[in-house]
């Protein structure tokens, strides 16, 4: 059949109008949904142009802005819903700026935020995006920056200005953030890279700057109050550098495995370098002499202390009993090395499931110790050889007099607290004299004892434990 020019033009016009009508419907729905969502909070919303792509598949709102009655403000340069509007493939926000006022004053900006598998065109649960509590399969954010400025705190009568309880001000930037399996209570995986920050009034650290190459977190659960403590399965931190009023340090790597459901976990700290010399220069003048003495003992005058540490824990369920094993080591270069090895059979509280209980257990409270052993060794890497000279100088006596006093004090404590304590203190003196390079303490626990009771009476432990001291 031959189509006349007039019929062809009518068909072309109909086909051209069809996607435009569908597109306009999605654009209208996006504007309507945004206004309905933001209407749940007091404030004023403005939206620029809302449109859809010619063939559908992308609906966008330009220049979205919401000003809360408390002065908080949200701006989004472009809000895009990709794919089917009801079940979008992704939601993208470009040029995001969230400004909060009052006691939580601060500004959060992001060049681009993408949510994959968001579950709907407006993926945050409620309100005007004020708590940024997204629900999505995956989140990617680029060009993040957070600026904080603590608001003045006044007394209850309004007459005095009080010091802020948190950081007075600071900023944090991040090149990229990637997260998966996001919900209100959990995040499956979170990775951040290219992090830099500055803070002022950071309690014990004072003012300072830091950089962090990357931080990775796995298995974050119970993030909001649901009656359980927040948990973290794994963490990896790489290349952290801190320069503050009271701390100057570099850390190559920190790894943490807190998921004990597989029967084991642990922590590794690799190459923590403390610049004690620079920290002393930053300290108040009246404290520098004392700090230099401590630094000389720890570092032999170099002013730098390098630390490495590792701890491993394992558990095995044996019917109503369980076996806990732990190993740990801390090495302070040119100072000391400390090792610990423990094997503890325990009985768990009635009615608990061993795998779940041991996986979340943070200490021995609530369990019954069924004997077991703890062996710990302290090795001298230079610290104890330096101690007599520095300690004697600080007391204004000779090294020989200081060591004689130390022997006398060890004997006195042994008389008061038992021969085991006396042997331990004498072993430390032997290390200072150079007669021993290592001191090992072997502890054997009583067959039936409550961990809470033992922890409540640390001074009574020597009488309850079997203790043997060795030096070599």
With 60 as the cut, is the pLDDT of residue 25 above it? Answer: yes
pLDDT of 341:
97
The whole-number pLDDT of residue 439 equals: 97
pLDDT band at 8 (very low <50, low <70, confident <90, very high): very low
Task: Give the rounded percent of residues in the chain with a pLDDT score beyond 70.
Answer: 86
- The whole-number pLDDT of residue 320 equals 76
Least confident of 52-61, 160-169, 437-446: 160-169
> With 60 as the cut, is the pLDDT of residue 163 above it?
no
The Cα–Cα gap between 328 and 262 comes to 19
Position 126 pLDDT exceeds 80: no
User: Exposed, middle or buried, 6 (CB in 10 Å: 0-12/13-18/19+)?
Assistant: exposed
* Model pLDDT, residue 470: 95
Tokens 């100057």 belong to 248
172 neighbors 197 (Cβ within 8 angstroms)? yes
Q: What is the mean pLDDT of residues 422-436?
A: 95
Please report the pLDDT score of residue 298 as a whole number.
93
* Mean pLDDT of the chain, nearest integer: 86
Q: Given a cut of 70, is residue 165 above it in pLDDT?
A: no
What is the arithmetic mean of pLDDT over 183-197? 94
Distance between CA atoms of 90 and 123, rounded to whole angstroms?
10
pLDDT of residue 360: 72
Decide if pLDDT at 379 tops 50.
Answer: yes
Contact indicator for 85, 63 with CB cutoff of 8 Å = no
What dihedral angle (degrees, nearest 10) is formed by the CA atoms of 398, 404, 408, 414?
A: 120
CB 407 within 8 A of CB 388: no
In this prediction, residue 374 carries a pLDDT of 94
Mean pLDDT, range 449-459, rounded to an integer: 71
Helix (H) or strand (E) holding 355: helix 354-360
pLDDT one-digit tens code per residue, 262-309: 888 899 999 999 999 999 999 999 999 889 989 999 999 899 999 999
Sign of the Cα pseudo-torsion (281, 284, 288, 294, in order): negative
Mean pLDDT score, 401-417: 93
pLDDT of residue 136: 87
- Give the torsion sign (CA, 175, 180, 184, 186): negative
Please state the length of the chain: 472
Using the predicted structure, report yes or no on whether residue 231 has a pLDDT greater than 80. yes
The average pLDDT across 416-425 equals: 90
Mean pLDDT is highest, among 341-350, 370-379, 450-459, for 370-379
Q: What pLDDT was estimated at residue 2?
A: 46
Q: What is the Cα–Cα distance from 249 to 246, expressed in whole angstroms?
A: 10
Is it the case that residue 3 has pLDDT exceeding 60? Answer: no
Query: pLDDT category, 1, cuts 50, 70, 90?
Result: very low
> Which pLDDT band holds residue 203 (cuts at 50, 70, 90)?
confident
Whether pLDDT at 177 is above 90: yes
- Give the per-residue pLDDT at 356: 75
Quote the CA–CA distance of 345 and 372 in Å, as a whole number: 6
Per-residue pLDDT at 411 exceeds 90: yes
**pLDDT tens profile 319-340:** 778 899 999 999 999 999 999 9
Strands 43-46 and 106-116: unpaired
Average pLDDT of the segment spanning 120-139: 78
Given a contact cutoff of 8 angstroms between Cβ atoms, the answer to whether 62 and 77 are in contact is: yes
pLDDT at 24 over 60: no
The pLDDT of residue 11 is 42
Looking at the whole model, is its pTM more than 0.75?
Answer: yes
pLDDT at residue number 15: 42
């Amino acid at each position: 059949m031959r189509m006349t020019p007039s019929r062809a033009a009518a068909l072309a016009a109909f086909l051209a109008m069809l996607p435009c009508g569908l597109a306009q419907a999605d654009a209208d729905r996006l504007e309507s949904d945004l206004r309905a969502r933001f209407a749940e909070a007091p404030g004023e919303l403005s939206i620029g142009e809302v449109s859809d792509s010619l063939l559908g598949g992308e609906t966008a709102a330009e220049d979205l802005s919401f000003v809360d009655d408390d002065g908080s403000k949200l701006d989004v340069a472009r809000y895009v819903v990709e794919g089917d509007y009801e079940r979008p493939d992704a939601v993208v926000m470009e040029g995001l700026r969230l400004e909060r006022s009052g006691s939580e004053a601060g500004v959060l900006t992001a060049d681009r935020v993408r949510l994959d598998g968001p579950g709907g065109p407006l993926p945050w649960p409620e309100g005007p995006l004020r708590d940024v509590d997204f629900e999505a399969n995956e989140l990617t954010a680029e060009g993040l920056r957070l600026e904080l400025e603590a608001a003045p705190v006044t007394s209850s009568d309004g007459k005095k200005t009080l010091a802020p309880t948190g950081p007075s001000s600071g900023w944090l930037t991040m090149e990229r953030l990637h997260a998966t399996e996001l919900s209100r209570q959990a995040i499956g995986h979170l990775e951040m890279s290219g992090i830099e920050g500055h803070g002022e009034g950071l309690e014990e650290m004072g003012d300072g700057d830091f950089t962090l190459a990357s931080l990775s977190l796995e298995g974050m659960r119970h993030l909001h109050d649901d009656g359980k403590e927040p948990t973290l399965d794994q963490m990896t931190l790489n290349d952290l550098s801190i320069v503050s009023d009271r701390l100057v340090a570099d850390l190559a790597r920190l790894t943490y495995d807190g998921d004990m459901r597989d029967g084991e976990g642990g922590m590794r700290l690799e190459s923590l370098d403390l610049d004690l010399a620079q920290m002393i220069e930053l300290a108040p003048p009246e404290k520098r002499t004392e700090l230099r003495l401590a630094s000389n003992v720890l570092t032999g005058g170099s002013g730098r202390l390098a630390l490495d540490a590792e701890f491993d824990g394992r558990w095995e369920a044996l019917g109503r009993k369980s076996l806990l094993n732990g190993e740990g080591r801390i090495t302070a270069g040119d100072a000391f090395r400390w090792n610990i090895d423990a094997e503890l059979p325990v009985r768990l509280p009635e009615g608990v499931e061993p795998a779940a209980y041991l996986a979340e257990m943070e200490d021995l409270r609530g369990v019954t110790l069924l004997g077991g052993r703890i062996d710990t060794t302290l090795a001298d890497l230079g610290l104890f050889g330096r101690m007599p000279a520095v300690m004697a100088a600080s007391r204004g006596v000779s090294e020989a007099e200081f060591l004689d006093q130390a022997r006398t004090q060890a004997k006195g404590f042994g008389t008061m607290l038992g021969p085991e304590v006396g042997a331990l203190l004498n072993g430390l003196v032997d290390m200072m004299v150079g007669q021993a390079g290592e001191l090992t303490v072997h502890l054997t626990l009583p067959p039936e004892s409550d961990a809470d009771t033992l922890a409540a009476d640390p001074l009574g432990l020597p009488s309850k434990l079997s203790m043997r001291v060795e030096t070599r």
